[in-house]
Each structure stands twice: as C-alpha cells, then as structure tokens.
C-alpha cells in the first residue's frame, strides 16, 4: 500500500511564482488514492464522533449550513496526527511561503453535507492573531470534488486587497466582499478538484464555495501552516481572542508561536 505522505513533491519555480502572484495554487497528484482512502476513513470517523452540530440544515445559521467543522483532530487521534505531521504537505507550504520552516497553527475538517449551504466570501487570517502574512492553508479534498459538491473558489490576486479584512464569515461578508472582488476585477477561479489534487492559499486570500447540490458529502481536511518565526499579536476581535485561547494559551503576546499546540512540522533552519 502506498501511504507516502513524506517524500518531496517536485515544485517548480513557475508554480512558486504563480502562488505568490495569485495568492493560491492548485496542485495535482499530491496524495495517492491509497493515502486518501486510508486516512480519509479515519478522519471521517473522527468527524462523526466529534461533531457537535445536530440541527437539521434548514434550522442552522449561514455559517453552520456551510459545513460541519471539527478542529484539532490531530490532538485526539494518533493516525490523524500522523497525517497532519506529514512532511510532503509541510515542505510544500515552506517552499511556497519562502520561509525556513513552518509550524502547525491548527487542523480542521470541513464537511459540506448534501444540501449544505454556501461558504461565504472570507479571508482566514481575519481569525488569526499572527504577526505577518506568512501563513497558508492546504485544502485537501478526500474525494474527487465536482462542481456540484461545492469546491473551493478563489479570487485571483486578492491576497493584496485590504478591503474586507475586517469582516467575519457571514451573509454580510458574502455580499460586501463579493462586491469588492468584482469592483477590483479579481478573477474568480472556480473549478473542480481531481482525486489527489489539493490547494494552498495565503491567509489573506479571499475565497468561497458554492452549495453542495450532490448526494455525497464533500469531505475535506485542512491544515494551516505558519512561518516558524511568526509571533502572537494582541487579539483585536473576539474571534482572534478565541483562537489565542484555543491554540496559543501558553504563548505571550509578542513572542514566537512556540507553544504546545503549534509544533514545527518542517524546518531547514
């Protein structure tokens, strides 16, 4: 069985330049069918075990309609930890960011159920009390993801935009950020994901996803990486304060994010 999650993935200079210019990149054949089936089965079981959202979709708010969200599964299951600590994905993140090494910020499973709603426009780093923009999320579909399932869609180049960085994911963000992306002429890249294809996007890249109109759950695992030297800043909203408590309770403001929840996953320093 090919469970390779550690060998290097051959990134080209053109791919790295594309990521930095556009704010994201989609890479094919990063993970094998065997890897996705083996770890995906365990991740899905943990999502089912740890999920706390049990309301019917029609009774949920916009955020809760978008997906079932389970965070920091790596701390609850050793096999998921093995996957999240895989060197292949971490090394890609390090090379795309152009830093000496990367830490984990956290993992999260995002399962968009059949009939699951729109994931509104947002930028992830709104939630993160981190000192710079050397952050990246890898979005890992655990199956081929058709347009009907609601694949992640990116506003190309939007990591350079300062408009909308102060809006949490909501109906308001869908409306206001969507309008801003159109006014600034950021092209929308919305396309399916092949099996084994993953995407990496900066923390400040604006993105969204459509509804899941298929009969299959869109199962996705994500890992958020950050520069190994990044520091904790004073949280300025309730969301960032919540993140500090969850992921950096043992780190002082102004210090490197070197806590028990934020291990270095790959480093060449």
**pLDDT score recorded for residue 197:** 98
The helix (run of H) or strand (run of E) holding residue 112 is: strand 101-112
Structural domain that includes position 49: 13-248
106 lies in a domain?
yes
Tell whether 176 is covered by a domain: yes
Predicted local distance difference test score (pLDDT) of residue 70: 97
Contact predicate 39/58, CB 8 Å: no
Q: Are strands 198-202 and 119-122 parallel, antiparallel or unpaired?
A: unpaired
Domain-located, residue 44: yes
The two three-digit tokens of residue 17, written as one number: 């330049």
Largest separation between any pair of C-alpha atoms in the chain: 50
Which CATH number covers residue 39? 2.60.120.620
Residue 87 in any domain: the answer is yes
Q: How many residues are present in the chain?
A: 269
Residues sharing a CB contact under 8 Å with residue 194, sequence separation 6 or more, in sequence order: 28, 144
Edge to edge, what strands does the sheet with 119-122 contain?
119-122, 207-209, 152-155, 188-190
Please indicate, yes or no, if residue 263 is contained in any of the structural domains.
Answer: no
Structural domain contains residue 7: no
Split into its structural domains, the chain has a count of 1
pLDDT one digit per residue (tens) for the chain, 269 residues? 679 999 999 999 999 999 999 999 999 999 999 999 999 999 999 999 999 888 989 889 888 888 899 999 999 999 999 999 999 999 999 999 999 999 999 999 999 999 999 999 999 999 999 999 999 999 999 999 999 999 999 999 999 999 999 999 999 999 999 999 999 999 999 999 999 999 999 999 999 999 999 999 999 999 999 999 999 999 999 999 999 999 999 999 999 999 999 999 999 97
Residue 8 in any domain: the answer is: no
The Cα 128–Cα 106 span in angstroms is 11
pLDDT reported for residue 58: 87
Report the pLDDT value the prediction gives residue 66, as an integer from 0 to 100. Answer: 86
Per the domain annotation, does 266 fall within a domain? no
pLDDT value at position 45? 97
């Amino acid at each position: 069985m090919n469970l390779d999650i550690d060998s290097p993935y051959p990134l080209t200079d053109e791919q790295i330049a594309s990521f930095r210019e556009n704010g994201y990149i989609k890479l094919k054949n990063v993970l094998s069918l065997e890897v996705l089936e083996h770890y995906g089965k365990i991740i899905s079981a943990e999502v089912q075990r740890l999920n706390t959202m049990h309301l019917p979709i029609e009774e949920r708010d916009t955020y809760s309609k978008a997906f079932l969200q389970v965070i920091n599964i790596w701390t609850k299951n050793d096999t998921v930890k093995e996957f999240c600590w895989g060197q292949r994905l971490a090394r890609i993140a390090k090379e795309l960011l152009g830093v000496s090494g990367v830490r984990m910020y956290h993992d999260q499973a995002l399962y968009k159920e059949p009939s699951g709603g729109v994931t509104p426009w947002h930028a992830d780093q709104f939630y993160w009390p981190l000192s710079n923009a050397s952050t990246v999320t890898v979005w890992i579909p655990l199956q081929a993801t058709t347009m009907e399932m609601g694949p992640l869609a990116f506003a190309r180049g939007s990591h350079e935009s300062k408009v909308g960085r102060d809006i949490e994911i909501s109906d308001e963000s869908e409306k206001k950020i969507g309008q801003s992306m159109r006014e600034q002429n950021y092209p929308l890249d919305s396309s399916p994901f092949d099996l084994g294809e993953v995407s990496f996007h900066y923390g400040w890249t604006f993105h969204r996803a459509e509804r899941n109109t298929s009969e299959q759950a869109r199962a996705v695992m994500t890992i958020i990486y950050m520069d190994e030297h990044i520091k904790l800043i004073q949280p300025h909203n309730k969301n960032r304060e919540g993140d500090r408590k969850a992921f950096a309770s043992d780190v002082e403001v102004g210090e490197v994010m070197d806590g028990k929840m934020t291990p270095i996953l790959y480093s060449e320093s």
